[in-house]
Amino acid sequence: MPILELKDISVSYPNCDAPVLQLPRLQIGQGEAVAILGPSGSGKTTLVSIISGLEYPATGSVCWDGINLNTLPEAQKDQWRAENIGLVMQDFHLYPGLSAFENILLPARFRYWHLPRELKRKASDLLDRIDVHTGARPIEKLSRGEMQRVAVARALLMSPPVLIADEPTASLDVTNGEQVIELLLDLVKEQQMTLLAVTHDRRLAGRMTRCLTLENGRLIKDGVNETERDFT
């Protein structure tokens, strides 16, 4: 049984003539590592928002493990997302004024009154793994690459079964990009996590088990390591 099943999805905006996303059917299996490719404006971030339940499609269903997100009330959907999805958004959504460490711990702060010591240790291990050592400096004073790595670490704190990342290596140089790719793929293996990553990065796409390519909001390719086109 697929872990994610999309049916008859259509997303439109009032000022756009055609739907920005149209997917008759898409299934993702548990433990798959899926790259989402396509030119700018092809609907990749829209797809991320739909499958993570941040936006509702105009039509169709988004089912995770048999749960249809479109039928869940907002509060239940937010709770479901917090428990099941590690999300790295394209613009990071980090919390200004807080340090890297505190930003990584945020998902736990929403869940626990007193933070378990092992989660603090995990946050600290993740900081080491992403090689960010910026102490108490507020997150807005970090470089874009550092912020990106913190956003990835934060998504991993609660060991979610699914990680969805929108361009997780976009702001990173080769070394840091490789480091984040290794971290993501290690976790997929170690925790049998399902990974969906929007990317222009051939190094990342080449390491995934499946590549989806969008163009004008439609799925035009669904295959294994179809990275011959570079959209950067």
Ligand X SMILES: Nc1ncnc2c1ncn2[C@@H]1O[C@H](COP(=O)(O)OP(=O)(O)OP(=O)(O)O)[C@@H](O)[C@H]1O
Binding residues vs ligand X (CB under 6 A): 13, 15-16, 20, 38, 40-46, 90
Shortest gap between Cβ of 217 and Mg ion (angstroms)? 12
Q: Which listed option, Mg ion, ligand X, none, makes contact with residue 29 (CB within 5 to 8 Å by class)?
A: none
Q: Which listed option, Mg ion, ligand X, none, makes contact with residue 99 (CB within 5 to 8 Å by class)?
A: none
Angle, helices 144-156/174-191, rounded to nearest 10 degrees: 0
Neighbouring CB atoms inside 10 A of 42's CB total 23
Give the nearer residue to ligand X in terms of CB position, either 15 or 175: 15
What is the x/- site pattern for Mg ion, positions 66-105, by CB under 5 A?
A: ------------------------x---------------
Instruction: For Cα atoms 71, 75, 78, give the angle at the middle one, nearest 5 degrees.
Output: 90
Give the nearer residue to Mg ion in terms of CB position, either 45 or 199: 45
Determine which residue in the list 22, 42, 45, 227 makes contact with Mg ion, applying CB under 5 A. Answer: 45
| Complete edge-to-edge strand list for the sheet that includes strand 67-68 | 67-68, 59-64, 4-11, 21-28, 218-223, 210-215, 33-37, 194-198, 162-166, 85-88
Shortest gap between Cβ of 14 and ligand X (angstroms)? 8
Q: Which listed option, Mg ion, ligand X, none, makes contact with residue 175 (CB within 5 to 8 Å by class)?
A: none
- Report residue 63 as tokens: 């089912």
Give the nearer residue to ligand X in terms of CB position, either 132 or 167: 167
Determine the Cα–Cα distance for residues 148 and 15; give it in Å rounded to an integer: 31
